[in-house]
Amino acid sequence: MTKPDPIKYSVVVPFYNEQDNLPALYLRITEVMDAIGELYEMVFVDDGSRDATYKLLLEIYEHDQRVHLVRLRRNFGQTAALKAGFDFARGEIIISMDGDLQHDPAEIPLFLEKINEGYDLVSGWRAQRRDAWLTRQLPSRVANLIMAKLSGLDLHDFGTTFKAYRREILAEIQLYGELHRFIPALASWSGAKIAEVAIKNNPRQNGKSNYGLGRTTRVLLDLLGVKFLLDYSTRPLQFFGLFGLVGTSAGLAISFILLLKKLLLHEAIMIEHGPLMLLGILLIVGGVQFFCLGLLGEVLTRIYYELQHKPIYSLREVKSRHEKLPDPTERDAGPLHT
């Protein structure tokens, strides 16, 4: 028996109550992908839909062998649904998009063109947005700006899920929370080459968006989390220690001055400098706590990296004349500090 040909492309789409959009989307995807002419599969994820989405997905699955169905037990949210799809996708190149027809499959070839130019990740950029300005566009602008600054990655649009990836890039990234937005930032940490293509942003035709303003707060908090993970996850003491150092030294200085006043000038410190004394004490106590937090962080990071055998680097290629290369997934976390 010959081995089946490797699948070149996987199109991953999460669906949550998208019964009205699903059939049209499926047809458009197949039309576009058939025209490309390489072996492909579709990984459709049902994120606990409560309408007829799953029934329709089953029907499609029955008559199309290229379709894989992943059904989550309940609604886990877009990030989890995407991650489930990624886990089951076997293509060399993975394309992710929304299931509500806001992304047009006809634009998939633009992404693949960039990938073929040698990029590892190609991200869609909604050059002209059609969402509500105040609740969606403005927060997203601000978040994108902050994100670009923090991650040092010059992208216009971190928010859209319309993207193409080489599979190795995804395999290395842990997704949770609302983190799917930050795949480019996390990938760029791994050294991925990233490009952006302008896409259309079609208004939602059927059903309504699952998100509103509430999402912005969560995204902003995630942003902080990602920034911390990217910059300090292997050295929390350097982050918290700085606050600890500044706090403790300021507190000690204040207390020392007050002590001198007491001893040399016999001033009634409590009465004359009460607030200042309190500040000194607070700074010392707070500073020491920051230190402890940093130390605890150090211990946690070690457990985290060692348990997961999470590499602290990411390889693009290895060339060696050794007979058998070690399996990168089994490589040791190694020393954490460089």
Binding site for ligand UDP (CB under 6 A): 14-16, 18, 47, 75, 77-78, 81, 98-100, 102, 209-211
How many secondary structure helices (H) and strands (E) does the chain include? 11, 7
Span near Mg ion by CB under 5 A; candidates 84-92, 95-103, 137-145, 232-240: 95-103
**Shortest Cβ distance from residue 137 to ligand UDP (Å)?**
12
> How far, in Å, CA of 242 to CA of 219, rounded?
26
The DSSP symbol for 6 reads P
Nearer to ligand UDP, 203 or 334 (CB): 203
Segment holding 97, helix H or strand E = none
Q: Which is nearer to Mg ion, 14 or 294 (CB)?
A: 14
18 makes contact with Mg ion (CB under 5 A)? no
Per-residue DSSP letters for 136-152? IIHHHHHHHHHHHHHHT
**Rounded Cα gap, residues 336 and 277, in angstroms:** 40
Residue 100 or 298: the one with the smaller Cβ distance to ligand UDP is: 100
| Closest to ligand UDP by CB, 47 or 120 | 47
The residue (of 47 and 222) whose beta carbon lies closer to ligand UDP is 47
User: What is the nearest approach in angstroms of ligand UDP to the Cβ of residue 212?
Assistant: 9
Nearest CA among 71, 70, 111, 80 for reference residue 93? 111
Give the amino acid at 25: L
100 binds Mg ion (CB under 5 A): yes
**Binding partner selected for residue 251 from ligand UDP, Mg ion, none, CB under the kind-specific 5 to 8 Å limit:** none
The CB-of-13 to ligand UDP minimum distance in angstroms stands at: 6
Question: Total number of residues binding Mg ion (CB under 5 A)?
Answer: 2
Q: Select from Mg ion, ligand UDP, none the partner in contact with residue 157, using the beta carbon and a kind-dependent cut-off of 5 to 8 Å.
A: none
Decide if 203 contacts 155 (C-beta within 8 A): no
Distance between CA atoms of residues 42 and 171, nearest Å:
18
Question: CB of 48 within 8 A of CB of 76?
Answer: yes
Nearer to ligand UDP, 80 or 121 (CB): 80
From the list Mg ion, ligand UDP, none, pick the one residue 289 interacts with, judged by a Cβ distance below 5 to 8 Å according to partner type: none
CB nearer Mg ion, residue 39 or residue 198: 198
Q: Collapse the DSSP code of 195 into the 3-class scheme (helix H, G, I; strand E, B; otherwise coil) and give the result.
A: strand
Half-sphere exposure of 325 (CA within 13 A, CB side): 9
With beta carbons less than 8 A apart as the criterion, state whether 145 and 82 touch: no
Minimum CB separation from Mg ion for residue 169, in Å?
A: 24
**Near Mg ion by CB under 5 A: residue from 102, 161, 188, 248:** 102
Instruction: Give least dist CB 16 to Mg ion, A.
Output: 10
Q: How far is the CB of 177 from Mg ion (least distance, A)?
A: 19
160 binds, among ligand UDP, Mg ion, none (CB under 5 to 8 A by kind): none
Phi and psi (nearest 5°) for 281?
Answer: -65, -45
Three-state secondary-structure class, residue 134 = helix
List b or e across 42-63, with b for residues whose CB sees 16 or more CB atoms inside 10 angstroms: bbbbbbbbeeebbebbeebeee
- Selection from ligand UDP, Mg ion, none that 77 binds (CB < 5 to 8 A by kind) is ligand UDP
- Give least dist CB 182 to ligand UDP, A: 15
- Residue 178 binds Mg ion, judged by CB under 5 A: no
Nearest one of 197, 55, 39, 52 to 113, comparing CA atoms: 197
Interacting residues toward Mg ion by CB under 5 A: 100, 102
